[in-house]
Structure 1
């Protein structure tokens, strides 16, 4: 029987990327998880797309880090301000790292903001980056050197609590830690129904999703590691995707943002897996995620809205896999940009 729904196609797709990582090593002499010298990215352009809403507290540090990247590849940085009420747009349009600064006329959500940036992007490969993620100097070269038409490249994040200082956030001198990401070190609650799998764990688990799944390879064919599956590994805090396939699946579904928070990146991951992409982690690509002052309150608000977006995700899993949606994506995103302010250097 031919797979027709998104869920059925996920079960039909493997995630064996060993041939890809071996070929990269053979071609470059570099380990897949090795920080990348600038020269390895030469001739490999990258469009960095940053959605931003009221993140003026973090955006200067994020852009400073991008301006300091060691990469020989061409880089454009597109910041899409989602109708902020603080100084986010002023920061973006004045910073030397920014190629294009966009201010949307009204709040559209991170899905719409990312779609707008992707439509304006010139490179074949996109790197979605949160506006509160500070990257080590090698990360853009890491992504550019490894990008391929069939890869979804995932980086990781290390959350830093908010710090009130006159000069803004303080970035530690030490590198961010891979183990700080929940996809790497995970301690789930016991005696609680886990939302994705429906499992209830009765004993404490010292979870290691990244290691236990052999760099996500064992999550092919719709398999789970407890409450983790392959689409969940596509987290847009730091995510590289091929632009052509991103557009063909219709980009991010803005309905998730209208309903609440979360799942839009999981859905994109599912759509790209269905389109025969492999999800491959970069263990060396870890950024510092700068928490806002009201991080706890924001998290509670997000969790309140999460059931609605999870229900929508389960609904679209039962629908046909998105493909051939480039024209619809372009039309909808051009409409979103019609009244936007766009400043290009």
Structure 2
């Protein structure tokens, strides 16, 4: 009888304080402190950006990547999932991008991320959404702290679409706010089943998932904070993972992309946790997450597919934890890349 992924998660701790304290002792930097460029010297990061019809945001996103202050070896791989707008042309012209891939047909963000991760040369893969604008220290934050058994997660501050008078997008004054992320400040509905756990709250809750779980440590061993568990904290809007561990668990399950939106990053988080990775937040790594012009319509479309992707995730939880999938991962990713246009600089 096999041990399921769900059961394996119940055996995995997330006690990462020893790791963050060791970092501070070695470097003199606080774990949540923005990182000087010099502290990232000697490290390497591959940034992978899946993109689908994101021309409205991409110039702003890539400009922010080009303005990163670090001393690490960094490559930026953008994988265009058969966009019908100017996404690929923008990436091809922008100096921040080192490799552009254009998939010949739409295959979903999971496949796009897998293809990009397959091309990655660095031991750390930093997944960044094509609508995430990062402060200048984030690459250094990740590069200086990454390890072969850690998943480092940043946060997002959603920003409504607003075009600037002179072109581009208008961003809020000041830095992105950590509290804007639902994993930090969360107000769930009352008398309505929560979408993930299915529990119903009888009274209002001023939810503080990040603080209440001691930076996710209390979510070890498969535990919950109401509707949140540890895999749900792995959000690929801004997420750094060890490349070898990613391949070992088979990368992202691409069936999620065929079904719709959501849960592919949760499943990857579960697989990496089962493989022994810690999930550690970087409170200083917060980006502006830019809404598209038709945000309301897109959101409704995404939510309509949530039941199917959640059902897929529940099914995968009942199966053994993925392991030893490196060859299968490479084969599947190479298949995507064979028919694609790949431009490396």
The two structures have a TM-score, normalised by structure 2, of: 0.99
- Moved beyond 6 Å, runs of 4+: none
- Indicate whether 1:262 and 2:293 are aligned: no
Q: d(CA) in 2 for partners of 1:318 and 1:121?
A: 31
Which residue in the other structure is 1:79 paired with? 78
Counterparts in 2 of 1:254-333, with a 5 A limit?
254-333=254-333
Which residue in the other structure is 2:160 paired with? 161
Q: d(CA) in 2 for partners of 1:95 and 1:195?
A: 40
Q: d(CA) in 2 for partners of 1:60 and 1:44?
A: 26
Q: d(CA) in 2 for partners of 1:325 and 1:245?
A: 10
Q: d(CA) in 2 for partners of 1:291 and 1:85?
A: 18
Segments of 5+ residues of structure 1 without an aligned counterpart are none
Which residue in the other structure is 1:171 paired with? 171
Contact 2:2 2:320 in 1 (8 A): no
Deviates more, 1:195-204 or 1:76-85: 195-204
- Indicate whether 1:18 and 2:13 are aligned: no
Deviates more, 1:213-222 or 1:167-176: 167-176
Q: d(CA) in 2 for partners of 1:3 and 1:146?
A: 35
Which residue in the other structure is 1:231 paired with? 231
Which residue in the other structure is 1:106 paired with? 105
| Cα displacement (A) at 1:68 | 0.5
Question: RMSD value over aligned CA atoms?
Answer: 0.9
| Cα displacement (A) at 1:172 | 2.8
Which residue in the other structure is 1:182 paired with? 182
Q: d(CA) in 2 for partners of 1:26 and 1:13?
A: 26
Say how many residue pairs are matched: 344
| Cα displacement (A) at 1:3 | 7.3
Counterparts in 2 of 1:20-99, with a 5 A limit?
20-99=19-98
Alpha-carbon deviations, 1:218-266, whole Å to 9, x = none? 0000000000000000000000000000001000000011011100000
Alpha-carbon deviations, 1:176-230, whole Å to 9, x = none? 0000000000000111111222210011100000000000000000000000000
Contact 1:21 1:32 in 2 (8 A): yes
Q: Classify the secondary structure of the residue corresponding to 1:126.
A: strand
Q: d(CA) in 2 for partners of 1:50 and 1:324?
A: 25
Q: d(CA) in 1 for partners of 2:184 and 2:302?
A: 22
Q: Classify the secondary structure of the residue corresponding to 1:285.
A: strand
| Cα displacement (A) at 1:164 | 2.7
Which residue in the other structure is 1:249 paired with? 249
Alpha-carbon deviations, 1:21-45, whole Å to 9, x = none? 0000000000000000001100100
Contact 1:115 1:333 in 2 (8 A): yes
Q: Classify the secondary structure of the residue corresponding to 1:48.
A: strand
Q: Classify the secondary structure of the residue corresponding to 2:48.
A: strand
